[in-house]
Structure 1
Amino acid sequence: MNTAKQYLSMDKQPQLWRGDFASYLELILEHKQFARSAHALLYDAILDKGIALSADDEPPVYGAFRDEIFGIDDPIAQLMSALHAGAEGLDIRRRIILLMGPPGSAKSTIATRMKRLLEEYTQTPKGAVYAIADCPMHEDPLHLLPQSARKQLHQDTGILVEGELCPVCRYRLEQAEGAWSSISTIPVEQIVFSEQRKVGIAAFAPSDPNSQDISDLVGGVDIVALQQYGVESHPLAWRFDGTLNIANRGIAELIELLKSKAELQFSLLTLAQERQIKAPRFELISADEVLLAHTNEEEYRRFVSDQKNEALQSRTYIIKVPYNLKWSAEEQIYSKMMGNRLDTHIAPWTLKAAAGWALLSRYEKLEKYSPELKLKLYDGQFEGEFRPAHLREVKELSPRDGMFGVSPRQVVNALSQAIAASPHNCLTPTDALKALRESLDHHTGAESKEKRDQLLGAVGAIRAEYDRYAKQTVSRAFIAAFESSAQDILIRYLDSAEASMREDKLRDPITGEWVDPDEKLMRSLEDLIGVSEGSKKSFREELLVRVGAMARHGKEFRWDSHPRLKEAIEQRLFADLQGTIRTTLSSKVPDEEQRRKLDSVKRRLQEQDGYCPHCASAMLDYVGYLLEKGN
């Protein structure tokens, strides 16, 4: 454990560079990357966390977002493409990047993550940012160079200097007092971005239209200083503390931009296109910042339908941010949102059940692909005849998937209420599905009978998936006591498959007679895992190759060595053992042998599958109920 001294030392601020402009210029000539733009800085901050290239045509996965945002790699890739273009000085840096999607689709999470990345990166040596000391807009010191020097610098180094001094720095230079009497001695300091300290990062949110004005964006008159300097147009009588002033050199988050007053929206036009801020009574003020806005689809549609907004529309770069569509990623979202704040055990498959229900509400209806099939295809579960090409077709046929449906927030609300009501300090899949069904009375968007019926149908579809999982899980726990039977099925299958490939017979181990391969056994197992008649030969060949490869390395091929065949054997054994399992689970007063089996199964569920005593018992009771019903 750390000592008090060690904890206190963690709050030490990094040693920041400070010098004069001449020293800074020497630094820039040696390290040209420090003269980068705001877009380049943000792009580098994200890349600094690493990037993993994906296979096929999947977008890359950026380390900066990997543990924070799940299942929306396409919008992230589009955002990175825009930042890259801006970093290269292309015209997209003169656009407002607008994240548009349904509520709860991670738009603000993306913005928040990017702000935190800038704060972290500017504390590192490679992310260092330098500014004219005490400038209210933390502006680029290279603005001090005259045009002739800028031109020569660009020719010699490729560094392009754009922008002019802010009113405060120009006033100080014109006064030429102290260190400002020569540009070489003007103080320059390293800065660290901080949203809390209003350095390089700022956020703007719409508020009461009657009280919000342009000063929220570009600053306003300093009443105390006005008494000293006499006129509002004096640089030192103005507070350069608006969102756009603070965000210079970094990023401005424009929250629900399209809900703000029109005059405030139009004040962004000059900044987006000309990269300049217009404050009342002042000339245009240079600014270099990433403008990142977000809004929902309904607001966006109203925005584009109004011809008065054409100028702002032309300066906006839209990135659609839909809800996540991948089952495993949705489960990760809920795991992150639930966190470790609640001292409650969450049974296996509980978050998966909730995730599946939410996803079924986000898919467009297609004749060829049911929502249940889409659920698996989006998650990369290509079973039977389905391949990645089918997923590509799904995306082409239903481009609005994810732009509507249940928000993760609504799901977490229902799960939180179920946890609060649980007397067992444990949340099970059946608890979760019950809570989601009951939440429809409080669910925005479920007012119509059609929508309510769809969401109720989704509960039934996920329950059917859970029923299969529950029976398979319990069967695996029981099968542990019947491993010899599982291995016997495997040997019979492999013997028949090998003889079938050779178009030969095999000797019956009991009678000693030469008999045909047991095609009925092989097809019964292959059908269970979706191996079609046409693909059975390739499946058997692949299996026998693996058996041979393991044998060459001195390894035994067992019944559970091949995931798909293991699943088939489990299902076959479960069918054979259903009577035994049903009797064991449904017995009101189990005998000693049945109690031993139940205790063994519960122990296996807890030790190997992550169940607690309560949810292990609940799982067995539920599967017993299913078997009694004949499901």
Structure 2
Amino acid sequence: MDILKKIEQHRETEERLKWEGTFADYLELLKERPWVAQTAHSRIYNMIKDAGIEEVDGLRKYNFFSNQLFGLEEALERLVEEYFHPSAKRLDVRKRILLLMGPVSGGKSTLVTMLKRGLEAYSHTDRGSVFAIKGCPMHEDPLHLIPHHLRDDFYAEYGVRIEGNLSPLNLMRLEKEYGGRIEDVIVERIFFSEDRRTGIGTFSPSDPKSQDIADLTGSIDFSTIAEFGSESDPRAYRFDGELNKANRGMMEFQEMLKCDEKFLWHLLSLTQEGNFKAGRFALISADELIVAHTNETEYRSFISNKKNEALHSRIIVMPIPYNLRVSEEEHIYEKMIHESDVSDVHIAPHTLRVAAMFTILTRLKDPKRPDIDLIKKMRLYDGEMVEGYNSIDVEELQREYQDEGMSGIDPRYVINRISSTIIRKEIASINALDVLRSLKDGLDQHPSISNEDRERYMNFISLARKEYDEIAKKEVQKAFVYSYEESAKTLMDNYLDNVEAYCNKSKLRDPLTGEEMSADEKLMRSIEEQIGISENAKKAFREEILIRISAYARKGKRFDYNSHERLREAIQKKLFADLKDVVKITTSTKTPDENQLKKINNVVARLIDEHGYNSTSANELLRYVGSLLNR
């Protein structure tokens, strides 16, 4: 389908969604779909909830955020369950300004943008539909037309609570245009749009000397004041401030804590009472989420100022820390690269993971437990299995520091360094070493890193490099061992025969001489030691293998090389250790003979076909591993 056809379809869809009728028609609609009268906070909560919620490891994962925000499950659960959910139930927490506090590039602006874009899309759905008095610049809730003394009766009949008063403009329109006949007032369906300033507003402070409060609350319309003759006539007033335009939806208050105090006082009555003062009018009702974002330093400075005490109790602070999981950080980089113009550059496998390891190490605080170092902590946080530790240890580590993740290297710095590497190398392939080198070079140019931190970060680059060395060796090991697959299977069968003899306390028969012999303890231990099976744990490990073989046999399956992941890893490592000299000679020789060349080509082909490398990165990896083995 071509783009013009899609534009036409979009236009037809928009037309179908439109609705217009009298207030009496709207009340009929309300009986069928009571949710159309929900509050702004309730609409936002339902928007998040309707996108789907999953329980993952005891944490709620909200699908609404899952494509853009990574590794912030705890913070997002706190935000939704401690702010949006109770606010949707009209609890007192909705009478607070939501302040997202966190380090730079931590996802605060992304979160706010997602809420805005989400509301725009949600208002086009049946569950998110919004209706307003037609012709009202503040898209006022039609239910404000119901007189106060009838609102209890209305609640008894419709089950909907009404908050707020009819605005001065609509009060006048009701008298002059409709002769006081509430049921005749025209109501229309509206669609939130930041571009059209419908239900979504953004306020950004500028120079306090030149910025006017009218930016928030609207101003006198000088083109009509001569016609209507009074500043207190609502027809001579422009209800086009951000607070007016954000009514029924949300307003983002950028750099709120840097703002002049006179702007903040308007937020006091709006959050607490749901109204604000504008011009020479009675208080104007508004139903909107006010969300602001700031960093920790600005917030500390704000609360230390006694003049701001009244605002402290009107603000609910939600910390949005950096992500602390390597795999999620990797997703962040993948997303940022995908959105850039360098997405066609080949990035060798594990490159982004190694960069993520460095970044996460800068954000973690040293564990208080002497048996856990930063690398172990990093692995545990990422959900890896670390022998001797479990989820209780992870929870204990997370409780050690309340502010973990509020400092460290931000994702933008890493992406800038990756971009720099791509531009400088002028080739279509980069690897982990290129990126680590670039990260190291960039530390000297980073303006906000102290000398002490720079030294720590240099150490983290070394740790990330060591992790990469192990990954690289393992990668080549897997590719090489594949070329010796028969040897791996033979070694596996040999090990299983010996395990069976050991567990059943029976003898093995020598295939050449036919003599009986005991299980080969030396062979079994040489394999088990590869994956850290201790002398005390060997019996349990062997018995577990035997139970697994029996279970396979009962189901009519054959226990083979791929049936037990840890055993396969042990076999690979053992074989790789035995082949180390072959690998060393093959990868480091300047002039390989025909046999060596064949092996190299097989391994390179394997790395390309099975592991995601290209020709350049596969050959670079082989050369690097060769140099590691020769040290």
Q: TM-score range by the shorter chain?
A: over 0.9
CA contact (8 A) 1:102 1:322 kept: yes
SS state of the match for residue 383, structure 2? Answer: coil
Q: Equivalents in 2 of 1:42, 1:361: separation in Å? A: 35
Q: Equivalents in 2 of 1:3, 1:109: separation in Å? A: 28
Q: Quote the residue 2:367 is aligned against.
A: 366
What is the identity, as a one-letter code, of the residue corresponding to 2:408? G
CA contact (8 A) 2:367 2:377 kept: no
What is the identity, as a one-letter code, of the residue corresponding to 1:363? L
From 366, 375, 379, the counterpart of 2:378: 375
Q: Quote the residue 1:572 is aligned against.
A: 574
Q: Quote the residue 1:92 is aligned against.
A: 93
Q: Quote the residue 1:290 is aligned against.
A: 289
Q: Equivalents in 1 of 2:574, 2:109: separation in Å? A: 49
Shift of 1:498: 3.1
Q: Equivalents in 2 of 1:438, 1:346: separation in Å? A: 19
Shift of 1:309: 1.4
SS state of the match for residue 195, structure 2? Answer: coil
Q: Equivalents in 1 of 2:501, 2:260: separation in Å? A: 78
| Residue range with higher mean Cα deviation, 360-369 or 532-541 | 532-541
Q: Equivalents in 2 of 1:513, 1:300: separation in Å? A: 80
Question: Relative to 1, partners in 2 of residues 1:545 and 1:29: Cα closer, same or farther, differing over 3 Å?
Answer: same
Question: Relative to 1, partners in 2 of residues 1:499 and 1:245: Cα closer, same or farther, differing over 3 Å?
Answer: farther
Q: Quote the residue 2:241 is aligned against.
A: 242
SS state of the match for residue 127, structure 1? Answer: coil
Q: Equivalents in 2 of 1:530, 1:266: separation in Å? A: 64
From 604, 618, 621, the counterpart of 2:620: 618
CA contact (8 A) 2:34 2:160 kept: yes
SS state of the match for residue 552, structure 2? Answer: helix
Q: Equivalents in 1 of 2:258, 2:528: separation in Å? A: 57
Shift of 1:535: 4.2
Q: Equivalents in 2 of 1:305, 1:517: separation in Å? A: 73
SS state of the match for residue 190, structure 1? Answer: strand
Where do 1:127-166 residues align within 5 Å?
A: 127-166=128-167
From 548, 559, 562, the counterpart of 2:561: 559
What is the identity, as a one-letter code, of the residue corresponding to 1:188? V
1:198-249 CA-to-partner distances (Å, cap 9, x unmatched) read 1111112222222223222212222212232233322122221222111111
Question: Relative to 1, partners in 2 of residues 1:281 and 1:522: Cα closer, same or farther, differing over 3 Å?
Answer: farther
Where do 1:14-25 residues align within 5 Å?
A: 14-15=15-16, 16-25=18-27
| Residue range with higher mean Cα deviation, 269-278 or 202-211 | 202-211
CA contact (8 A) 1:383 1:530 kept: no
CA contact (8 A) 1:98 1:318 kept: yes
| Residue range with higher mean Cα deviation, 526-535 or 199-208 | 526-535
Shift of 1:11: 4.7
From 487, 490, 493, the counterpart of 2:489: 487
Q: Equivalents in 1 of 2:615, 2:135: separation in Å? A: 63
Question: Relative to 1, partners in 2 of residues 1:364 and 1:32: Cα closer, same or farther, differing over 3 Å?
Answer: same
Question: Relative to 1, partners in 2 of residues 1:397 and 1:505: Cα closer, same or farther, differing over 3 Å?
Answer: farther
Same amino acid, percent of matched pairs: 44
CA contact (8 A) 1:200 1:246 kept: yes
Q: Equivalents in 2 of 1:611, 1:272: separation in Å? A: 55
What is the identity, as a one-letter code, of the residue corresponding to 1:151? D
Shift of 1:28: 0.6
SS state of the match for residue 194, structure 1? Answer: coil
Q: Equivalents in 2 of 1:535, 1:319: separation in Å? A: 46
Q: Quote the residue 1:316 is aligned against.
A: 315
Shift of 1:90: 0.7
Q: Equivalents in 2 of 1:393, 1:609: separation in Å? A: 36
Q: Equivalents in 2 of 1:311, 1:493: separation in Å? A: 73
Q: Equivalents in 1 of 2:11, 2:353: separation in Å? A: 40
CA contact (8 A) 2:270 2:276 kept: yes
1:487-526 CA-to-partner distances (Å, cap 9, x unmatched) read 1222233233333433444444455444443344334433
Where do 1:152-551 residues align within 5 Å?
A: 152-175=153-176, 177=177, 179=178, 181-339=180-338, 341-342=341-342, 343-368=344-369, 369-448=372-451, 450-551=452-553
Question: Relative to 1, partners in 2 of residues 1:143 and 1:537: Cα closer, same or farther, differing over 3 Å?
Answer: farther
Q: Equivalents in 2 of 1:95, 1:314: separation in Å? A: 8
1:367-416 CA-to-partner distances (Å, cap 9, x unmatched) read 42322112101101122112111111111112222010001011111111
Question: Relative to 1, partners in 2 of residues 1:3 and 1:402: Cα closer, same or farther, differing over 3 Å?
Answer: closer
What is the identity, as a one-letter code, of the residue corresponding to 1:413? N
CA contact (8 A) 1:143 1:165 kept: yes
Shift of 1:428: 0.8
| Residue range with higher mean Cα deviation, 609-618 or 516-525 | 516-525
Q: Equivalents in 1 of 2:389, 2:523: separation in Å? A: 24
SS state of the match for residue 223, structure 2? Answer: helix
Question: Relative to 1, partners in 2 of residues 1:499 and 1:447: Cα closer, same or farther, differing over 3 Å?
Answer: same
CA contact (8 A) 2:231 2:280 kept: yes
1:118-161 CA-to-partner distances (Å, cap 9, x unmatched) read 11111012211101111111111011011233111212332101
1:580-625 CA-to-partner distances (Å, cap 9, x unmatched) read 0111111111111111111111111111111111111111111111
Shift of 1:310: 1.5
Shift of 1:181: 4.2
Q: Equivalents in 2 of 1:262, 1:497: separation in Å? A: 77
Q: Equivalents in 2 of 1:243, 1:23: separation in Å? A: 30
Q: Quote the residue 1:63 is aligned against.
A: 63
CA contact (8 A) 2:98 2:316 kept: yes
Q: Equivalents in 2 of 1:330, 1:389: separation in Å? A: 23
Q: Quote the residue 1:107 is aligned against.
A: 108
SS state of the match for residue 139, structure 2? Answer: coil
1:175-198 CA-to-partner distances (Å, cap 9, x unmatched) read 2x2x45411110000011111111
What is the identity, as a one-letter code, of the residue corresponding to 1:298? T
Q: Equivalents in 2 of 1:283, 1:255: separation in Å? A: 28
SS state of the match for residue 30, structure 2? Answer: helix
| Residue range with higher mean Cα deviation, 530-539 or 325-334 | 530-539
SS state of the match for residue 365, structure 1? Answer: coil
CA contact (8 A) 1:218 1:243 kept: yes
Shift of 1:484: 1.6
Q: Equivalents in 1 of 2:438, 2:226: separation in Å? A: 62
What is the identity, as a one-letter code, of the residue corresponding to 2:490? D
CA contact (8 A) 1:364 1:400 kept: no
Shift of 1:560: 2.8
Q: Quote the residue 2:124 is aligned against.
A: 123
Shift of 1:292: 1.4
TM-score, normalised with respect to structure 2: 0.95
1:5-32 CA-to-partner distances (Å, cap 9, x unmatched) read 3454335424211100000011112211
Q: Equivalents in 1 of 2:532, 2:164: separation in Å? A: 65
CA contact (8 A) 1:143 1:163 kept: yes
What is the identity, as a one-letter code, of the residue corresponding to 1:125? D
SS state of the match for residue 223, structure 1? Answer: coil
1:555-591 CA-to-partner distances (Å, cap 9, x unmatched) read 3322233222222222111111010011111111111
SS state of the match for residue 444, structure 2? Answer: helix
1:163-183 CA-to-partner distances (Å, cap 9, x unmatched) read 0111210111232x2x45411
Q: Equivalents in 2 of 1:268, 1:422: separation in Å? A: 52
How many residues matched? 624
Question: Relative to 1, partners in 2 of residues 1:523 and 1:387: Cα closer, same or farther, differing over 3 Å?
Answer: farther
| Residue range with higher mean Cα deviation, 205-214 or 620-629 | 205-214
Q: Equivalents in 1 of 2:308, 2:444: separation in Å? A: 38
CA contact (8 A) 2:155 2:161 kept: yes
Question: Relative to 1, partners in 2 of residues 1:490 and 1:296: Cα closer, same or farther, differing over 3 Å?
Answer: same
Q: Equivalents in 2 of 1:214, 1:532: separation in Å? A: 72
Q: Equivalents in 2 of 1:420, 1:52: separation in Å? A: 41
SS state of the match for residue 411, structure 1? Answer: helix
TM-score, normalised with respect to structure 1: 0.95
